[in-house]
Chains A and B, each alone.
Chain A
Amino acid sequence: MAQRPENKAPPQVFYDPKEARKYIYHTHTVEVQTRLAERALELLDLDPSTLEQGPALILDLGCGTGLSGDVLSRAGHLWVGLDIAAAMLSVAVERDVDGDLIQLDLGAGLPFQIGCFDGAVSISVLQWLCHADASDQDPRKRLFTFFMTLYACLRRGARAVFQFYPSHERQVAFIFAQAKRAGFDGGLVVDYPNSTRAKKFYLVLQAGPAERATTMRQQALSPAVARRFVEPMTDDVSEDEASLCETRAPAGNTAIAAVPKNRQQNVSRKSVHRRVQSVRRLIEKQRLRRLRQGKPVRPLSKYSGRKRSSHF
């Protein structure tokens, strides 16, 4: 079996310019990441009363080159992407992503005001936080700091959805324990539980009870998913609990049936098209003004007049 990337090198080393290229040129990688992000957005189950008031403000934790962020943009949302790897972020800038980007280490905590984000997604990242990259790094402490600061900057009742690749069952329990300690409630959703290759894990966390409309939202969840939300989180991180992600996934087609149904319902809501505007002229104007004022300006670059979705 191939060695897991997080065992090879720290993320800022592993995700070098060459690795970052894969996230634009490997069609398969792009497709997979996009599909995972679409599913995460669906599980985020954004508050309908929020959506009535325009876009949601969403965190993309470990945004990389912005493939997951593109899914958020296409759905009309505004996002802030956080990543540790400079090479990945450079590619995101090159790709003209719509979201804002910040370079930071998630394990050091999130530096945001309280209650400002409507939700968070994270695609193929969480397993990295279970690793110590230096002798003074304690994954338990880093995960706890991460979850605690994430909880703080989410609106009450908002969700965070993590698609990730647990290395073994105990790791899932380990992550749960830290999330719960930080105040989150939630559970694990397993898509395609019976397929070794297609099987995907989503940790779905909720930051406290919603301020309003709680009952409505919970009823709206398909029963299979709703049931699984409350089940897995327990204080006890025993071996038994650790294996729940495998054993509690329904043996038959229940989980699989429930999940794609949910998916279909949501497709139309997301199919908002991007309209591209030309904005170079305005930027040129701003540049000229700065030049007139004797201020330093950047030459018009690929960054200027980046095309963006009509939303953001």
Chain B
Amino acid sequence: MRLLTHNLLICPVHKKPLAIRNVSAVDIIPVEYQPRFLLRMIPRLDWSLLRAAAVSVESDCVDALPEAAPSPSELPALEKAVESGDRLPLLDALQRLLLETHVVGGQLHCEHGEFYVIADGIPNLLADAAVNPSETASEQAACTTEGS
């Protein structure tokens, strides 16, 4: 799963963004440079989620991401730069992160506690595939109490 798709995804139950954790495998697969597509995506992005994702996958591009997304008023200037063929570090970082960085193995954590597993690059968001650590923990606790 690309970080672009991750950025657009929300928890199927609580409709909240999902944090990438316990990453076991990442692939980087270069594709054709798409500056205009990336510019078009900027307004749709959850910027802080993208920054957190870049940290989770330990991307080299973390430092190239500004603290905040370019504001709508900054976009025309970026567009102009792209039109005139300038190579912008911001767009290079977005290209690498959004389009070329794939989480192949890991977990997607909801702030409500449950998480979803990513295996073979595919997150499993089926209702019965959600892992609820607090439930499993309390179930285990219940078992131990019964056993003793």
Interface residues of A (CB under 8 A from B): 50, 52-55, 57, 78, 80, 84, 89-90, 93, 100-105, 108-109, 111-113, 115-117, 153, 277, 279, 282-283, 286, 290, 293, 296-298, 303-306, 308-312
Q: Is the CB of B10 within 8 A of A305?
A: no
**Given A53-B39, A104-B125, A108-B127, A298–B104 Cβ distance below 8 Å?**
yes
By secondary structure, the A interface counts as loop
Counting chain B CB atoms within 10 Å of each CB, the highest count among A52, A103, A108, A297 belongs to A103
* Across-interface contacts of A109 in B (CB, < 8 A): 12
**Which of A111, A115, A283 is the one whose CB lies under 8 Å from B125?**
A111
Instruction: Give the CA-CA distance A310 to B30 in the complex, in Å.
Output: 9
Q: Is the CB of A54 within 8 A of B29?
A: no
CB proximity to A under 8 Å, residues B101-126: 104-105, 120-126
* Across-interface contacts of B39 in A (CB, < 8 A): 53
Instruction: For the complex formed, measure the closest distance between the CB of A100 and the CB atoms of chain B, giving whole angstroms.
Output: 4
Instruction: Give the CA-CA distance A306 to B122 in the complex, in Å.
Output: 15
Instruction: Give the CA-CA distance A105 to B129 in the complex, in Å.
Output: 11
**Given A101-B121, A112-B9, A298-B25, A55–B37 Cβ distance below 8 Å?**
yes
Interface residues of B (CB under 8 A from A): 1-2, 4-5, 7-12, 15, 24-32, 34-37, 39-41, 44, 46, 58, 99, 104-105, 120-127, 129
* Across-interface contacts of A296 in B (CB, < 8 A): 24-25
Q: Is the CB of A55 within 8 A of B34?
A: yes
**19 residue pairs bridging A and B, Cβ less than 8 Å apart:** A52-B36, A54-B35, A57-B4, A100-B5, A111-B11, A112-B9, A116-B8, A116-B44, A117-B8, A277-B30, A279-B28, A282-B28, A286-B26, A286-B28, A298-B105, A303-B104, A310-B31, A311-B34, A312-B99
Which B-chain residue is minimally distant from A80 (CB atoms)? B5
Which B-chain residue is minimally distant from A296 (CB atoms)? B24
Q: Is the CB of A286 within 8 A of B126?
A: no
Which A-chain residue is minimally distant from B40 (CB atoms)? A53
Which A-chain residue is minimally distant from B103 (CB atoms)? A100
**Given A111-B10, A296-B25, A102–B31 Cβ distance below 8 Å?**
no
* Across-interface contacts of A90 in B (CB, < 8 A): 120
Instruction: Give the CA-CA distance A109 to B10 in the complex, in Å.
Output: 11
Instruction: For the complex formed, measure the closest distance between the CB of B76 and the CB atoms of chain A, giving whole angstroms.
Output: 14
Which B-chain residue is minimally distant from A84 (CB atoms)? B126
Q: Is the CB of B122 within 8 A of A102?
A: yes
Q: Is the CB of B27 within 8 A of A303?
A: yes
Instruction: For the complex formed, measure the closest distance between the CB of B24 and the CB atoms of chain A, giving whole angstroms.
Output: 5
Q: Which 3 pairs of residues, A with B, have the shortest CB-CB distance?
A: A54-B37, A111-B12, A53-B36
**Given A53-B37, A103-B123, A283–B29 Cβ distance below 8 Å?**
yes
Q: Is the CB of B31 within 8 A of A283?
A: no
Q: Is the CB of B34 within 8 A of A54?
A: yes
Instruction: Give the CA-CA distance A279 to B31 in the complex, in Å.
Output: 9
**Given A53-B40, A54-B34, A277-B30, A103–B8 Cβ distance below 8 Å?**
no
Q: Is the CB of A54 within 8 A of B30?
A: no
Instruction: For the complex formed, measure the closest distance between the CB of B1 and the CB atoms of chain A, giving whole angstroms.
Output: 5
Instruction: Give the CA-CA distance A54 to B35 in the complex, in Å.
Output: 8
Which B-chain residue is minimally distant from A290 (CB atoms)? B26
Instruction: For the complex formed, measure the closest distance between the CB of B84 and the CB atoms of chain A, giving whole angstroms.
Output: 16
Q: Is the CB of A54 within 8 A of B122?
A: no
Q: Is the CB of B127 within 8 A of A105?
A: yes
* Across-interface contacts of A304 in B (CB, < 8 A): 27
Instruction: Give the CA-CA distance A57 to B34 in the complex, in Å.
Output: 12
Q: Is the CB of A111 within 8 A of B9?
A: yes
Instruction: Give the CA-CA distance A113 to B46 in the complex, in Å.
Output: 9
Instruction: Give the CA-CA distance A54 to B1 in the complex, in Å.
Output: 21
Q: Is the CB of B32 within 8 A of A311?
A: yes
Instruction: Give the CA-CA distance A161 to B104 in the complex, in Å.
Output: 30
Instruction: Give the CA-CA distance A124 to B27 in the complex, in Å.
Output: 32
Instruction: For the complex formed, measure the closest distance between the CB of A308 and the CB atoms of chain B, giving whole angstroms.
Output: 6
Instruction: Give the CA-CA distance A84 to B127 in the complex, in Å.
Output: 11
Instruction: Give the CA-CA distance A115 to B46 in the complex, in Å.
Output: 13
Given A108-B127, A279-B30, A296-B24, 19 other A-B residues pairs in contact with their CB atoms under 8 A: A52-B36, A53-B36, A54-B37, A55-B37, A57-B41, A78-B37, A89-B122, A101-B1, A102-B122, A104-B126, A105-B126, A112-B8, A112-B9, A116-B8, A293-B58, A298-B24, A298-B25, A298-B104, A310-B31
